């Protein structure tokens, strides 16, 4: 059976760290679905529709990457999609505790779903959506850390 992996997250906005993980996942699994969480951010900069549009545009030429949204428990969505794997990126030790808790909670909720951690290329190991938004809003450059389309959208939003 072909393996479908789900890569869930807020993606507010998509960074090149995310792009790196999705690209690696697309090589490892038959299909990978980027799943934008609908209620993960209290005050998001980008709407869910915008985040989906950006990810779809960035991966439009990669046939085994799709972009979707989900609400409620991640494991329920993964089950509904008949997927076998949750992919998460691990940048540094500081990510580990939160990711460890989530992976084990998700395993308790559904023991058939496996979480697979992937490391991004080292040049992206320190970036996060939160830092990108903070640096950009204070006038710092984020070129090379996010897709060009995201940089452009940030310019339109943060004026």
CA pair distance 138, 28, nearest whole angstrom? 38
Q: Residue 102, interface with ligand PNS (CB under 6 A)?
A: yes
Q: Of residues 73, 126, 144, 148, which one binds ligand PNS by CB under 6 A? A: 73
Q: Which of 18, 51, 88, 153 is catalytic?
A: 18
Query: What's phi and psi for 102, nearest 5 deg?
Result: -65, -45
The verdict on whether 91 is a catalytic residue reads yes
Which residue is closest to ligand PNS by CB?
Answer: 9
* Residue 8 contacts residue 81 (beta carbons within 8 Å): no
Q: Residue 106, interface with ligand PNS (CB under 6 A)?
A: yes
Question: Among residues 44, 108, 42, which one has the least CA distance to residue 73?
Answer: 108
Q: What is the contact surface with ligand PNS in residues (CB under 6 A)?
A: 8-10, 37, 40, 73-74, 102, 105-106
């Amino acid at each position: 059976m072909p393996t479908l992996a789900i890569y869930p997250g807020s993606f507010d906005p998509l960074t090149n760290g995310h792009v790196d993980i999705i690209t690696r996942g697309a090589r490892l699994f038959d299909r990978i679905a980027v799943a934008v969480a609908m209620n993960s951010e209290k005050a998001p900069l980008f709407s869910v529709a915008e985040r989906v549009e950006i990810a779809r545009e960035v991966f439009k030429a990669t046939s085994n990457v799709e972009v979707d949204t989900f609400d409620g428990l991640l494991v329920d969505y993964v089950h509904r999609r008949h997927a076998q794997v949750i992919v998460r990126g691990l940048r540094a030790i500081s990510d580990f505790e939160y990711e460890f808790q989530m992976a084990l909670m998700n395993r308790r909720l559904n023991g058939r779903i496996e979480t697979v951690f992937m490391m991004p290329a080292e040049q992206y190991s320190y970036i996060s959506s939160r830092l990108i938004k903070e640096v950009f809003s204070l006038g710092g450059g984020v070129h090379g850390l996010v897709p060009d389309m995201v940089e452009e959208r940030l310019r339109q939003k943060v004026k």
